[in-house]
C-alpha cells in the first residue's frame, strides 16, 4: 500500500481546522478589501513606464514617504478600487530582495477577457518576455517587472 502524501495530509488538516464549510458564503469578513500593496522600486521611472505601458495602470499619486523623507511613494490605480504602490529608497542602495519566509512571491491581478487579450497584444508589441498557462482567452500569464517582481494576470 502506497504511503499518503504528507503534504496533502497537511493541506487537508489546515482545511479541517480553519475552513468552516457551514459558514455562509456571503458572511462578513473583518476588512473591506485591499487599499494598496507596496513594493520597493530601484527605479521609479522604469517602474512607472512598465506598469502604465505594459499593464495599462494609471499613475494617480506621487508623494513623500512619511517614514523616510528621501523616499518617494507612488500609487498606481490597478482597477477595482485597489492601488499598487511603490517606494524607492535612494539612500539605501538597490540590493535585490531575497525570497524567503515573509517575502512576497508574486502579485496576481485579475483581468476581463478584453483586458487579457489586450495585454497579450501589448506584450507582443513591446517584446516583453512572459509565460502563459491556458489560452489567449482564459488562464494566467506571468511576467517580471523591472525589479524582477513576478506578476500574474489571470482571466477566468
> pLDDT of 108-117, one tens digit each?
999 999 999 9
pTM for the whole structure: 0.84
| Domain spans of the chain, in order of start | 33-93+105-155
CA-CA-CA-CA torsion sign (30, 107, 98, 52): negative
By the 8 A CB rule, do 107 and 37 touch? Answer: yes
Q: How do 150-155 and 131-134 pair as beta strands?
A: unpaired
Q: What is the pLDDT of residues 101-146, one digit of tens each?
A: 788 889 999 999 999 999 999 999 999 999 999 887 889 999 999 9
Distance of CA 69 to the CA centre of its chain: 26
Superfamily designation of domain 33-93+105-155: 2,3-Dihydroxybiphenyl 1,2-Dioxygenase, domain 1 (3.10.180.10)
User: Looking at the predicted structure, is the pLDDT value of residue 6 above 90?
Assistant: no
Q: Considering only CA atoms, give the Rg of the chain.
A: 19
Q: What is the pLDDT of residue 133?
A: 93
Amino acid at each position: 500500500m502506497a504511503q499518503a502524501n504528507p503534504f496533502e495530509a497537511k493541506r487537508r488538516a489546515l482545511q479541517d481546522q480553519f475552513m468552516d464549510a457551514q459558514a455562509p458564503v456571503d458572511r462578513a469578513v473583518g476588512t473591506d478589501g485591499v487599499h494598496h500593496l507596496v513594493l520597493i522600486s530601484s527605479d521609479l521611472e522604469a517602474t512607472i513606464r512598465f506598469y502604465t505601458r505594459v499593464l495599462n495602470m494609471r499613475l494617480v499619486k506621487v508623494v513623500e514617504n512619511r517614514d523616510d523623507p528621501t523616499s518617494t511613494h507612488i500609487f498606481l490605480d490597478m482597477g477595482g478600487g485597489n492601488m499598487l504602490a511603490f517606494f524607492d529608497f535612494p539612500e539605501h542602495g538597490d540590493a535585490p530582495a531575497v525570497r524567503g519566509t515573509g517575502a512576497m512571491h508574486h502579485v496576481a491581478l485579475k483581468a476581463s477577457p478584453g483586458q487579457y487579450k489586450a495585454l497579450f497584444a501589448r506584450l507582443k508589441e513591446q517584446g516583453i518576455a512572459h509565460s502563459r498557462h491556458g489560452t489567449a482567452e482564459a488562464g494566467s500569464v506571468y511576467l517580471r517587472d523591472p525589479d524582477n517582481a513576478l506578476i500574474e494576470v489571470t482571466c477566468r
